Structure 1
Amino acid sequence: MNSQCNKHISLLLLTQLLLAALVSIPRTATAATLSIKNTNYAIPSGAYFVSPNGNESNSGRSADSPWPVSKAIASAPSGATIVFRGGTYRNVRLAVNKRLILQAYPNEQPWLKGSIVIDGWVPEGSIWRKDDWNYSFPPNQQPQAIDPNYPMAGYRDMVYINGVALKQVASKANVAPGTFYVDAGNKKLYIGSNPAGNTVEATVQTEGVVLWNSNASGSVVRGLGLVHYADRGIQIGAAGITVENNTLAWNGVDGITIQSSDVKVHGNNISYNGRKGVGGIRSHRLLLENNVISHNNVENFATNWSASGVKILWSDGAVVRGNMVDSNKSMGLWADESCSNITFVNNVTRNNRIGIYFEISHKAIIASNVVYNNRIAGIMILNASAARIYNNTLARNHANLLVQETSRNNTKSTEIAEGITWITRNTVVKNNILWHSSGPMFYAPGCATKEPSNLMVPTTNNNAYYRSSASRPVNLIWALSGNQCSQSFNSLASFQSATGLESNSLDIVNSNDPFFVDASANDFRLTSGSPALGRGEPLPADVANAIGVAAEIPVDLGALNNLEDDG
C-alpha cells in the first residue's frame, strides 16, 4: 500500500476538494444557488408521504396523496418513514417525540424554512413598513458571545429579498437599502429595499427539526434543506441520531446543535450560519464525517467565545474526519473545555482563524490533516495535554503549529484525576510537513508561565521544514529555560544543538519547492522525488487505525492517503 501511496498524498485532499466543488455554497449565495445533495433513498413499504400542499383528507400513504407534514409527524407510528416531496415547507417546526426516519423523495429537494413570504408593504418615505408584525427574536446568548464591534449579532431576526440576506440595524433611523429593523414594541417591520416585484421572506420560527425527546432516539434526518431558522436548523438531545446529506444554511445562530451521545453527522453541507456550523455539548462519541462546513459566523459573533465551524465541549470520544472546513470567520475545528479522547483526522481545514484548535482538554489524535491559509495558526494547542500531532501538512498559516501554556489550570478534582489538568504537557509532534508560513513555523513560547518549552513538547522529530529563504520565516521559537520567554532559531541545526530535539528532521531552504506537485495551487500531493517520501516514523497502532493506514511500517511525511491503493 505505502509504496503506491507514497506517490500520491491526498486522495483525501482531492476527494475533499471535489466534495467542496460539488456541494459547497458560493460566498455570494442566494436562494437560487442553494442546493441539496441529490439523494435516492429507498422508500419502504408502509411509508408516509408529505408535501408542501398536502391535504389532511388525503391517505398519506402514496406519493400522489400526501399529507401536510404536521399530520404525518403526529400520526405516523414509531419506526415509520416519512418521505418529503420536493418544494418549500413554510413556517415549519417539527418536534419529533418518537423514532422516525425523515427523508427526501428520490431526486427531489424538500426545503424546510423558518420564514414566511411577506406582502402588504406600506411605503414610508424612502423605506417600507409591514404592520402587525408579531415576531421578534432578541438576543438569548451569553454576553461574552457578542463582539462589541457587532452588537446586533445576537438579534436573530432575518429578512431576505430574493434569497439575499438583509442586514439588521438597531433603529428605524438607520434603515437604508440592504437593511431592516424590527420595532417589536409597535409590531412593525421596516426594510430599506423596495419589495415591489421581489420575494421578501422573514424568519418566524426558532428551530427546524427538534429531536430532544428521548423517544426520538435512533431517528434519521436525510436529504432535507433547513434554512432561515432564528436559532438552528436541527437541535438534537436524543441519543443515536443520524443526520446525513442535508443542507443547513442561513440559520440565525447554529446549523446544528448536539447535546446527546452517539450522534452521526455525515455528508451534510453546513454553511453560512450566523454563529457556528456545528455545536456539540456532552456529545460523547460524536461522529462528524465527510461534511462541508464553510463560511459560518456570518453575523460576526465573538471569535474567541463560541463562533466557529465546529465547537465541541465536555465531550469524550468524538471523531471528526474527512471534512472540508473552509472560510469560517472564526476557528475551524475546535475542541474546548474538558474534552477528552478527541480525534481529528483526514480533514482539510483552510482560510479560518485557527484550523484545528485543542484547548483546555486532554488526549487528542490530530493526524493526516491538510491545514493551510489559516490566519492565526494551522494547529493550536492551548492548556491541553497528550495531543499527538502526526503526519499533518501545514502550509502558509501565520504560525503553522502553535503550542502554548498559561496559568489557567483545572480545579475540578474529578477531571484532574482523569488527566484533564488544563496544563500543556506530553505533546508529540512527528512526521509533519511545515511548509512556509507568514510567522514562525513552530511556535512554543514559555512567556506566560516562564517554563521551558520541552515541558509542553517533550517529543518532536521526523518533521520537515521548508522555506524559500533562510531569513524568513523563523523555523522555531522556543523557551530553553524556566526564566526565559522565547528564543528564535533560524535553522534546524541550531535548534537541534540547543535542545537535542528534531534529530531526524529536515530543514530545506530552496527557492524551488521539492515537496509538492504545486503548493501555489494548493496541490499538496508529494512529487515523485519528494524528500518526504518514506521518511516518516512508523505510526502507533491507534494513530494508524484512525487515519486508515497500516501501523508499524515507515510512512511518508505529511498527510497520508486514507484509502487502500488497489494499484
Structure 2
Amino acid sequence: MNNQCNTYFSLSTLAKLTLAVLVAVPLTVPRIANSATLNIKRTNYGIPNGAYFVSPTGKPGNSGRSANSPWPVAKAIASAPSGATIVFRGGTYRNVQIALNKRLTLQAYPNEQPWLKGSTVVDGWVQEGSIWRKDGWNFSFLPVEEGKAIDPKYPMAGHRDMVYINGVALKQVGSKANVGPGTFFVDGRNNKLYIGTNPSGKTVEATTQTEGIMAWNSAASGSVIRGLGLAHYANQGLKIGASGITVENSTLAWNGLDGVAVLSSGAKLRGNTISYNGRRGVNGVRSHRLQLENNVISHNNTENFSKSWSAGGAKIIWTDGAVMRGNTVNNNKSIGLWIDESSTNSTVVNNVVHNNSSNGISMEISHNAIIASNVISGNAPAGIIILNSSSARIYNNTLARNQANLLVQDTSRRNTKSNEISKGITWVTRNTIVKNNIFWNSSGTMFFASGCPVKQASKLMIPVTNNNAYYRRSAGKPANLIWGLNSNQCSQTFSSLASFRSATGLEANSLDVVNSSDPFFVNANANDFRLKSGSPAIGRGEPLPADIANAIGVAAGRKVNLGALR
C-alpha cells in the first residue's frame, strides 16, 4: 500500500471532470461500417390502403395515391390527413425540410433507400487563383453554442456550414486566406462560398437547411418515422418536441450538431444508425421515458466540440426513466453514453461501448441508475464513471482495457435545488453498489475510487463491492484498486484483493487472477468477450435483484455468470 493523493487521476483532472464530466448484447465488438459505406437499412414495411406516395421527381399534378404517380414531399405533408401513411420512394430529396403538424407515418418504400438532405448541389464555380468561388451563396450558419461547448483548439466547431465533395466532408476554415485543398470558407457578408478542391467533374453538396424533420407541434404526437435517411442539416436531422414519437431503422448522419434531438417524453429510437454528426448522435433534454434501443451510435463529434461539456454519442439531461438498451456505441470523439444533470431512474443495459475517446458510460450529478450487462472496452479515461451521483447499481459488466475500468468519484459540487434534493438528487456520490463485474487488464487501474477530492473514506461512496473478478497478466500492474481508507489516507493503492480485503472488509467473495494466459474469455485481444469453457466466471455471480434481472432479460433469484450476461 502506498499513500498517494495524486495517483493516476490528478486532482486537476478531477476538477475538470466536475465541469463535465429485450435484446441480446453481443459479447464480441461488432464491426461498424465506415463513412464511405454508411447507408440505410433495407426495410419492407407494409403499405396500408389509402397511403400517399412521394418521390424526388414527384409532380403536383400526379394522383399521389400510387407508387407510379407520386407527389412531391411538400404536397403530401400538406394534403395527407392526420393518421395517414406517406411512403417515400428511393433516391435523394434535396433541400428538404418537413414540419409535422399532424400525426403521420413516414416510411420507406419496400427495399428502397430514401435520403432526405438539407443540402443542395452547387455548380457554377469560378476559379480564383488556386481556389474556387461560388457567387450568390445566401446561406451562412453562424455559431449558436455557448462558449464552454467550444474546445479552444477547434474554434470553428460552432459554425454549422457543411460542404461535401463526392460525399467526403471538407473542413471549414475562418477566412478566405486559409482556404486550401480539402477546406472551405463561407463569406456570409458578401454571399460567397469558397472551396480549395477543384470541383470539376465532381458533385459538390453544401448545407442550406437547419433541421430535417421537425416533430415539434403537439398534434404530431404519436408519429412514426422509419426507413429514412436524414443528412447534411446544419442543426439536427430530426428534432422531436411532440410526445410519443417513434424513429426506427433510419440513418441520421453528417448533420452539423446532432443526429436527433429529443426534447419531449416517450420517444422510441430503435434500430437506427446515428453516426458522423458534428456534436452528438442523440441529444436528450427532459426526454422522460426515452427508449434508445438497438441503435448504432458511432463516430460522432466530428467537429470536435468540447468533450467535457456538450459532445457525446448520446447525452441526456434532466430526464427521468430513460432506457438505453442493446446499442453499439463506438468511436465517438466524446463520452459514449452520458447520463447528466439531475437525471433519474436510468437503465443502461446490454450495450457494447467500445473505443470512445472519453468515458464509455458516464453518470454525472444524477440519481438512481442500473448500469448492467454491458461490454465496455478501450475507452479513456474510464469505462464507467460515477461522478457526484447517487444510487448507481453496477452489475455484471465486462470492463476491459479501459484506462480505468471503473472510476467512482465525489467532489465538492452539490445540488442547491430543494425540490431535487427531496427526491434524492443531491449530487453527492453515495450508495454505489458494484457486483458481478469482470475487470480485465486495464491500461491504468481496475477500480479507481480515491476519496481525496473531498477528503473522505471511499466506503461512504461505495458501501458494497463484491462478487467481482479481476484479471491481470502480472501481479503488480495494473493496480486492482485505488481506495480511500479515511480522510487522512484518502488514496491507497492495492495490488491484490487479499490486501484490499484485509484493509476494508470488502470484496469477500471476489476473485483475483494473475496469469499470463487469460482464463476468462474466448479471445479478449480480438474483442471476443464470450466466456470460454471452464472460465472461472461461470456460475460465480450473486443472484440478481428482480428489477436488474428484468432489465437485462434474465431470471432473478439464481446464480449467474460474472460479466455481461446476454
TM-score bracket relative to the smaller structure: over 0.9
SS in 2 for 1:544: helix
Question: Hey, what does 1:12 align to over in structure 2?
Answer: 25
Displacement, 1:471?
1.0
> Does residue 479 in structure 1 map to residue 492 in structure 2?
no
Question: Which ranges of 4 or more aligned residues in structure 1 deviate by more than 2 Å?
Answer: none
Question: Hey, what does 2:351 align to over in structure 1?
Answer: 347
Displacement, 1:485?
2.8
* Structure 2, gaps ≥5 residues long: 1-22
- 2:93 aligns with one of 67, 89, 93: 89
> Does residue 414 in structure 1 map to residue 419 in structure 2?
yes
Taking the aligned partners of 1:12 and 1:345, their CA distance within structure 2 comes to 8
- 2:197 aligns with one of 189, 193, 208: 193
Query: Is contact 1:312-1:335 (8 Å) kept?
Result: yes
Query: Superposed, which structure 2 residues align to 1:136-175 within 5 Å?
Result: 136-175=140-179
**Amino acid paired to 1:75:** S
How many residues in Structure 1 have an aligned counterpart in Structure 2? 543
SS in 2 for 1:325: strand
- 1:534 aligns with one of 526, 533, 539: 539
**Structure 1, residues 198-247: CA drift from partner, whole Å, max 9, x if none?**
00000000000000000000000000000000001000000000000000
Displacement, 1:483?
2.4
Query: Is contact 1:111-1:224 (8 Å) kept?
Result: yes
Query: Superposed, which structure 2 residues align to 1:29-44 within 5 Å?
Result: 29-30=35-36, 33-44=37-48
Query: Is contact 2:24-2:326 (8 Å) kept?
Result: no
Question: Hey, what does 1:6 align to over in structure 2?
Answer: none
**Structure 1, residues 303-355: CA drift from partner, whole Å, max 9, x if none?**
00010100000000000000000000010000000000000000000111111
> Does residue 273 in structure 1 map to residue 295 in structure 2?
no
Question: Hey, what does 1:4 align to over in structure 2?
Answer: none
- 1:131 aligns with one of 130, 135, 152: 135
Question: Hey, what does 2:20 align to over in structure 1?
Answer: none
Query: Is contact 2:24-2:350 (8 Å) kept?
Result: no
**Amino acid paired to 2:114:** P
Query: Is contact 2:132-2:198 (8 Å) kept?
Result: yes
Query: Is contact 1:25-1:271 (8 Å) kept?
Result: no
> Does residue 64 in structure 1 map to residue 72 in structure 2?
no
SS in 2 for 1:375: coil
Taking the aligned partners of 1:502 and 1:128, their CA distance within structure 2 comes to 65
Question: Hey, what does 2:330 align to over in structure 1?
Answer: 326
Query: Superposed, which structure 2 residues align to 1:198-347 within 5 Å?
Result: 198-347=202-351
**Structure 1, residues 443-482: CA drift from partner, whole Å, max 9, x if none?**
0001110000000000000000000000100000000012
Taking the aligned partners of 2:424 and 2:380, their CA distance within structure 1 comes to 31
Query: Is contact 1:373-1:398 (8 Å) kept?
Result: yes
> Does residue 25 in structure 1 map to residue 33 in structure 2?
yes
SS in 2 for 1:12: coil
SS in 2 for 1:475: strand
Query: Is contact 1:270-1:277 (8 Å) kept?
Result: yes
Question: Hey, what does 1:565 align to over in structure 2?
Answer: none
> Does residue 513 in structure 1 map to residue 521 in structure 2?
no
* Structure 1, gaps ≥5 residues long: 1-9, 562-567
- 1:455 aligns with one of 460, 478, 485: 460
Query: Is contact 2:452-2:487 (8 Å) kept?
Result: no
Query: Is contact 1:400-1:434 (8 Å) kept?
Result: yes
SS in 2 for 1:455: helix
**Amino acid paired to 1:12:** V
Structure 1 pair 11/311, CA: closer, same or farther in 2 (3 Å)? closer
Taking the aligned partners of 1:13 and 1:267, their CA distance within structure 2 comes to 15
Q: How does the TM-score come out when normalised to structure 2?
A: 0.95
> Does residue 437 in structure 1 map to residue 437 in structure 2?
no
Taking the aligned partners of 1:528 and 1:126, their CA distance within structure 2 comes to 63
Taking the aligned partners of 1:196 and 1:431, their CA distance within structure 2 comes to 60
**Amino acid paired to 1:286:** L
Question: Hey, what does 1:493 align to over in structure 2?
Answer: 498
Taking the aligned partners of 1:195 and 1:516, their CA distance within structure 2 comes to 51
- 2:362 aligns with one of 333, 338, 357: 357
Query: Is contact 1:398-1:440 (8 Å) kept?
Result: yes
Displacement, 1:90?
0.3
Taking the aligned partners of 1:107 and 1:276, their CA distance within structure 2 comes to 29
**Amino acid paired to 1:13:** P
Taking the aligned partners of 1:11 and 1:49, their CA distance within structure 2 comes to 36
Query: Is contact 2:436-2:563 (8 Å) kept?
Result: yes
Taking the aligned partners of 2:297 and 2:228, their CA distance within structure 1 comes to 16
Question: Hey, what does 1:5 align to over in structure 2?
Answer: none
Taking the aligned partners of 1:173 and 1:332, their CA distance within structure 2 comes to 36
Displacement, 1:11?
5.4
Taking the aligned partners of 1:364 and 1:11, their CA distance within structure 2 comes to 20
Displacement, 1:302?
0.3
Query: Superposed, which structure 2 residues align to 1:102-121 within 5 Å?
Result: 102-121=106-125
Question: Hey, what does 2:528 align to over in structure 1?
Answer: 523
> Does residue 374 in structure 1 map to residue 379 in structure 2?
yes
